[in-house]
Structure 1
Amino acid sequence: MEEDHSSNFLLYVAVAIVGVATIYLVRRFFKGKQFTENVKAKDKVIIVTGASAGIGKQIARELNIRGGKVYLMCRDVDRANAAIRDLAAKYGCDTTRLIVIQGDLANFASVRKFVDEFNRRESKLDILVNNAGIGHYSNFEKTVDGHEVIFQTNYLGHFLLTHLLLPKLEKSDSPRIVGLSSILHLNADNVDQKTVEDEKKFSWMLGTYSRSKLANVMHAAVLTKKLRADDPTTKITFNTCHPGAVSTEIARNTFLSWPVISSLAKPFIWFFMKTDYDGAQTPLFLALSKKVDGASGKYFAECAESKVHPLVHDQAACDTLYNYSMVACGLNK
């Protein structure tokens, strides 16, 4: 009888060990590839948009810990300063190298004001991380500049910011632009002006979001070609990436933010989705890794080059988007 109890106990222990090991391995799989290179960011001047929370906050954290001077471009200055205090308290970040400048990508005048202030403070820019974004809007709305909110926040605002900062990037020895896109860019139908600005074609789910993320990838491809055509010796690189399925505030305007749904979903979110820090790994890889020295116009996922939408290879489509964006942002004058 005692032998039966002992056998059962050992069986339970074995099952428990296998179960815990399985959960650990599966959870580790969903965490995704981690950036483990020992690369410093000492003396580098960096801008991270949308750095008051989520992936952007974790990117700022890691770049600061590695020695970089990080500017946080955020709409809400108070919230950004609270994020800095949190980073200092939890991770020992150096607050003298975390600086907030207010900037709203949904307002071109605000973007220009941000750049003016940054230019007043710094003589160069080493790394620009275009991270900020919104994933869902229940209704079609236009910004003060007359463009659909998601498309301007995720794409046009970053387009303007990037082009205004090119002179500062050119002053760096190893300038890099990193754009956060999404695997959902593969689902986009197109990025034609008539589509992205048409209320009837607005998608309250993820269609409009997917278009903005496709535009990000196309921007990196076309700007790379234009920069190298203008100056074959340019050191500026521009790559985009999919950070993974991350549980961030980008879903704050969806049903997933409802209290009941949020509570029920927590165990599944913990198990199947990445943390903010996990989501920051591929952007950090593109910002710092020596493995991507010279690489530009590419799209990455899990720290490796990945498949892109066919329109990214369509030069005519890329040029059309680029020309539309130049006019929309007032850069053609």
Structure 2
Amino acid sequence: MPDSAPSSRTVLVTGAISGIGYETARQLAEGGATVLMHGRTTEEALAAADRLIATVGVDARRLHPYGADFTHLDEVEALAREVGERHPHLDVLVNNAGIAAPERHTITDDGNEIAFQVNFLAHYLLTCLLEPALTSEPGGRVVNVSSSLHRTASIQWGDPHRARRYSRVAAYAQSQLALTVFAADPRVTAVSVHPGVCDTALLPLYAHEGVTAAEGATYVARLCDPTVEIVNGAYYDRAERVDPAPAATEDRTVRRLNKLADLLVGNRAA
């Protein structure tokens, strides 16, 4: 049975327990949306929701905590199933959860390089499974929180897990390029956004200092606004629409990436 909600707009934000995801959830809830806050565990998501209620007075009815560890694709599948049952109409999916690739090459239990799985494959699977909810009424959209580092990347088609030659920066950049390419998938309307260099856990990959997570989140929350018109596959550097890396707009690359992703997530996306 769908959760009761005081808003006509429902948004799922992954990685909503800290950083840009948390601030995006805050801004959306303050703007009147019902926000589904994802964390690695339900307990972490509940604690983040309680912080919003206590610190900024967000209506508790607007916040719904969900847990799923993106290093386990079975948990992503369970998350999609639970969200789909409770919210058959989802206005926006914000694919924000992300990690910096570790110093040492790390493979998940699903057999994927960890940054590629958490930053891209989990979001690919979640989006595919939530497609019916996102397309049940006009206006559904996906906002991928990407990175300017996607411009430095290449997808290693023959070795996407970088077993032969691993670099944490290259692995992270590859995951961000894949997420940016995925925005051009025709199944749902989606955009990608680089929210700027922000003072979050990912800052060491970029610089020594950055703007606040709240400032970066404003660019994400803006693209969740149904009054903001978007074009499928568009890429934003903060508020400005710019061209992404050339590979991100190639139909052949989109098809090739979907084929690879389908292979790596198994039959879960069907």
Q: Which runs of 4+ in 1 moved over 3 A?
A: none
- Distance of 1:177 and 1:44 partners within structure 2: 14
- Distance of 1:238 and 1:255 partners within structure 2: 25
Q: Trace 1:1-333 onto structure 2 (pairs within 5 A).
A: 42-188=7-153, 190-204=154-168, 206-221=169-184, 223-224=185-186, 227=187, 236-251=188-203, 269=209, 273-288=210-225, 290-293=227-230, 295-331=231-267
SS class of match (1:240): strand
SS class of match (2:13): strand
Cα distance change of structure 1 residues 289 and 166 upon mapping to structure 2, 3 Å threshold: closer
Deviation at 1:143, TM superposition (A): 0.8
- Distance of 1:133 and 1:330 partners within structure 2: 21
Higher Cα radius of gyration: 1
- Distance of 1:113 and 1:302 partners within structure 2: 32
CA contact (8 A) 2:92 2:140 kept: yes
Cα RMSD of the aligned pairs, angstroms, is 2.0
CA contact (8 A) 1:50 1:56 kept: yes
Q: TM-score by structure 2 length?
A: 0.91
Deviation at 1:317, TM superposition (A): 2.3
What do residues 51-84 of structure 1 show as CA deviations (whole Å, max 9, x unaligned)?
Answer: 0000000111111111111111211332222211
Number of aligned residues: 264
Q: Which segments of 5 or more consecutive residues in structure 2 lack a partner in the other structure?
A: 1-5
Q: TM-score by structure 1 length?
A: 0.75
CA contact (8 A) 1:192 1:321 kept: no
- Distance of 1:289 and 1:244 partners within structure 2: 22
Aligned residue type for 2:160: V
- Distance of 2:42 and 2:16 partners within structure 1: 11
What do residues 138-178 of structure 1 show as CA deviations (whole Å, max 9, x unaligned)?
Answer: 11111111000000000000000000000111113310100
- Distance of 1:70 and 1:313 partners within structure 2: 30
Aligned sequence identity (%): 30
SS class of match (1:201): coil
Q: Which segments of 5 or more consecutive residues in structure 1 lack a partner in the other structure?
A: 1-40, 228-235, 257-264
CA contact (8 A) 2:13 2:25 kept: yes
